[in-house]
Copies of this chain bind each other. A is one copy, B any other.
Amino acid sequence: MEKVDRKSEIIHISAKLFRERGYMAVSMRDIAKSLDIKAASLYNHIHSKQEILSLLIINIAEEFTRAMNNLQDSNETAIESLKKFIDFHIEITLRDPDAIACLNNDWMHLDKEHRTYYVKMRDEYEENVRKIVKRGIDMGEIKEHNIEVIVFSMLSTLRTFYLWYGRKMKLNSTEFKESLTQVLLNGIV
């Protein structure tokens, strides 16, 4: 018997709806209907529709940032770092795919304050990935490719992973992680 407060429930169900139709296409009345209450009742728990989006997106973005910062501490090889990077991306995605869909698709609908904060976080995050790849190249672990191409390719794949898992993939998460790591690092040829 899990005791979940109403606020979390609202955010959770909103994430699901936002993922399917996008923030702008989901009304407060839609969210309310999913919870079998009236739209006005939502305001006993949250201040605005915007707040739902902020909580949703900032939370998950901060989770990625925390995971990335943990990576910075250790002094391992760049390849080891990249493997851990792939690993926590998949872990977080499996834990909350709806939130990641919102992050990807609806961050531009954040109010100015939160949008600025998010974009800053995202830029720093990408810069950290860039640093790892650069380190790998300097150390001779990674081929001398254009860094942006490598970073872009990895992040694109990891960020849209939520779209694919469960659709066609019959692998469990461990198998999947190994397979994706292989493909991303060692190529397919």
Contact = CB atoms under 8 A, between A and B. Distances in A.
Question: Copies per complex?
Answer: 2
A133 B183 CA distance: 13
Interface in A126-177: 133, 136, 141-143, 145-146, 148-150, 152-153, 156-157, 159-161, 163-164, 168-169, 171, 175-176
B189 A188 contact: no
Given A25-B109, A141-B189, A157-B153, A169 B182 contact: no
Nearest to A185: B189
A47 interface: no
Interface residues of A, number: 43
20 contacts: A22-B105, A22-B108, A24-B25, A25-B109, A136-B188, A141-B189, A143-B187, A146-B171, A146-B179, A148-B164, A148-B168, A148-B169, A149-B171, A149-B179, A149-B183, A152-B157, A152-B164, A153-B183, A183-B187, A185-B188
Given A143-B187, A149-B169, A152-B169, 13 more contacts: A20-B108, A22-B105, A22-B109, A143-B188, A145-B182, A146-B171, A148-B164, A152-B157, A153-B183, A159-B160, A185-B189, A186-B187, A187-B188
